[in-house]
Structures are given as C-alpha cells and as structure tokens.
Amino acid sequence: MSFFQNTFWLKRIAIFISVLIVSFILWNTYIFFQKFKEEERLKMELFATALKEFDANENLNDEFNVEGKVIESIQNIPLILTDVDGNIIESQNLDSLKVLRNGYLQEQLELMRAQNTPIEISYKNTPKQYVYYRNSDLLYKLKYYPLALLLILGLFLSIIYMVFKSGKIAEQNKLWTGMAKETAHQIGTPLSSLLGWIAILRTEDIDPSYVDEIEKDVNRLNIIANRFSKIGSLPELLPQDVVAISRNVFNYLASRSSKQLHFEFSSNTDATELPLNKELFGWVIENLLKNAIDAMQGKGELKLEIDDKAKFLKIRVTDTGKGIPKSQFKQVFKPGFTTKKRGWGLGLSLSKRIINDYHKGKIAVLKSEIGKGTTFEIQLSKTLT
C-alpha cells in the first residue's frame, strides 16, 4: 500500500477515534452536570425546609445545630429570599461589594428566575416566601468545559492534519526532485551528441548563422538540464551581473517569439552584481517572461524593467495580457495552480522558492487588471552583498 493510501486511512481512523472519545466525554459531562444540578436543587429544598424551623424573625446567618449545618452546606450557591410580592428580604453567597450597588440584587434575582424554579416556603400563619437561586460557580465552569474540550480537539486534529500534510508535501517534493534530476540526466546524453553534430556541421558548406542558432538552442537545453539538476539541493551563490543575465534571457525569448509582440528592456543601471545562482535566477526570469507571452496570446507589449535602488534591486515584468483577479494574486504561486489548458502549475511555485528561499528576496504580483495586463515584481536585497 502506498504512502498516500496509508495516510488516507490513518487520518480517518484518527478522526473516528477522536470523535468517539470526545462524544464519550461530552456525554459523561452532560450526565454529571445534570446530577450536580439536581444535588444543588436538593440542597436548596433542604435549606427551605430548615428555614421552617427558624422563627420568622430570625436572621439567616444565625446557626442552630442542624439548621446551621444546612446553611453551611449551601455556601457556594447564591440565593435570594423574597416575599410573595417579589420584594427582597435576604440574600446569601453574593459578592459583598457588588451587593452595595443599586440594582445589583434585582439583576441577580432576574437571573435566578431565568435559571431555576423558586422554592416556596410556608410558615404557619405567615405569608409565603420564596427562595430563588442560581447555579454555583462550579456548574458554570462545567457548562463551558465542553467548549474547552472541543477547542482542544480542534487543536489536536489540526496538529494531526499538519503532520500528515507535511509528510505528503515532503513525499511530493521528493518525487519532483527525483523526476527533475532524472530529466536532467536523460537530457545530458542527447545534448552531448548534438554538440558533436554541431562540430561536424561547421566543417560542412552550411551557412554559419544557421549553425550558430542551433548551437544557441543546444546551449539553452544545456542550461535547462543544469537547472533541473540543481532542484532539491542548496545552490551555490556567486557574484553575478543581474542586468546581463536578465538581458540575455530577454533577448533569447524575444528573438523566438511572435513578431506581433513588442519587447522592451529598460534599466537605470548598466551592471549590478549580486550573489546569485545564474541558472536558477535565469529560470525565474524566463518563467515570468513566458507566462507574460502566454497571457498576451501572440499579440501585445512586454516590458522588463530593472530599477536599481539604494537598498534593493527591483525587476518588473509587465504585459498587456488578460490579467489576474486580485483574489488569485497569492494563489498563482501555489503548486498546481494554473489557468492554462496545458501545464502543471509549477513555474511560479518554483520561481517563488528560488527567489524567497535561495536568494532571500521577494516575488509578488505588483498589480493586475482584467483585460489590461499584469506586473510581476522581484525584489532583491543589496545589503546582503
């Protein structure tokens, strides 16, 4: 069974077991909550019965043997004693400071009425009285305990999901790396043969310009093979001229694109050296230019601009293509995301990794408007040089 099949079933088993455990705990918490609530009700009924043993004029704080023990047992349950008209006679177990505030006792009485049915007290030859009470602090804590449990479960499932997801991503990265290196290896053999054929063609009576163009394409294939061979390993960064690398890629694609496309290269500096990997950085520029060409569908204007600032070097690629919705500005860099009928959606994802992880820079969609075009921007720090 493959890794993906294993994770598929493991995730579902983990979720199923988690749901069972949480359901069991929630059910037992509910039962415990109800039993505890019943016990508090019994205590309050016992308290009401004890009050009948008091003289009607006695204060509730007086303790007499059994009656006093009963009062002591309900010290964690806030209560209010009222007459038949709802007037407050006495209160117990409420905040001693808040009780002094006007309206506090009435607020608590309304809360108690909403939570529990009052207990009636009948004295001989005296008007009826009612004991109102609300849930103790412990019951309040039990009420919110399931929510805390659900949050813990959510965190637990999130950790499981991230672990499996990271494992899946690692497996995919390993697969892509192996494919890239194997591709580079397979390309290497015919490239060596092509270089030999080019040497033979130069000895023949053939227009040298034709051979030069073939050699350029072969060199380009060699560069591509080198790029693939570097995937998955930490590339070596050496001082390289950013302007020269960008211009070479730009000119190569311009010479092999539709004549209805207008190419423009501009830079406010003749040369700027930064620590780069020439093959990988050239790959990023090529990806941006190719995406721009595809977006214009054979007709439009493409501009590559290099802006040399004091702390940063900015490279902008602007096209007059179909544009990108603002909601997709970040999604375009995710692996597998593509709007093309053909393509795996890896170009911009790899470009982001090359710029962000290897060259410690930034790449983003600077601006875009549907039907008018898009501008991508690469920002490289000069302070690291």
Q: What is the per-residue pLDDT for 118?
A: 87
Residue 273 and residue 312 in contact, taking contact as beta carbons nearer than 8 Å = no
Residue 385 and residue 275 in contact, taking contact as beta carbons nearer than 8 Å = yes
Q: At 271, is the pLDDT very low, low, confident or very high (cuts 50, 70, 90)?
A: confident
Which has more pLDDT, 277 or 55? 277
In a domain, 195, yes or no: no
Q: Which residue type is seen at 321?
A: G
In a domain, 207, yes or no: no
Looking at the 3D structure of the chain, how many domains does it have?
A: 2
Q: At 173, is the pLDDT very low, low, confident or very high (cuts 50, 70, 90)?
A: low
Between 3-17, 207-221, 268-282, the lowest mean confidence (pLDDT) is in 3-17
Mean pLDDT of the chain: 80
Radius of gyration (Cα) for the chain, nearest Å?
Answer: 39
pTM over 0.75: no
Strand 300-308 and strand 261-267: the pairing is parallel
| Domain termination residue (choose one: 135, 165, 196) | 135
Show the domain range for 109.
3-135
In a domain, 219, yes or no: no
Q: What is the per-residue pLDDT for 3?
A: 45
| Residues 6 or more apart whose Cβ sits within 8 Å of residue 63 | 69, 71, 72
In a domain, 203, yes or no: no
In a domain, 124, yes or no: yes
Which has more pLDDT, 165 or 265? 265
Q: What is the per-residue pLDDT for 215?
A: 86
Same domain, 127 and 240: no
| Domain termination residue (choose one: 111, 135, 159) | 135
**Chain centroid offset of residue 259 CA:** 44
Which has more pLDDT, 267 or 165? 267
In a domain, 229, yes or no: no
Task: Give me 81's structure tokens.
Answer: 């004693």
Residue 280 and residue 230 in contact, taking contact as beta carbons nearer than 8 Å = yes
Same domain, 242 and 375: yes
Phi then psi for residue 371, to 5 deg, are 85, -5
Please give the sequence-ordered ranges of beta strands (E in DSSP) within 189-276, or none if there are none. Answer: 238-241, 261-267, 273-276
**How many other CB atoms sit within 10 Å of the CB of residue 122?**
10
pLDDT exceeds cutoff 90 at 192: no
> pLDDT per residue over 79-104, tens digit each?
888 888 888 888 888 888 888 888 88
Between 264-268, 295-299, 332-336, the lowest mean confidence (pLDDT) is in 332-336
Q: Which of 103-107, 108-112, 287-291 has the highest mean pLDDT?
A: 287-291
Residue closest to 50 by CA, chosen among 116, 121, 135, 133: 121
Residue with tokens 């390289």: 240
| Domain termination residue (choose one: 135, 151, 167) | 135
Same domain, 131 and 260: no
Task: Give me 377's structure tokens.
Answer: 């921007």
Residue with tokens 């690692």: 170
In a domain, 32, yes or no: yes
Average pLDDT over residues 321-344: 79
pLDDT exceeds cutoff 50 at 55: no
CATH number for the domain harbouring residue 246: 3.30.565.10
Average pLDDT over residues 17-32: 75
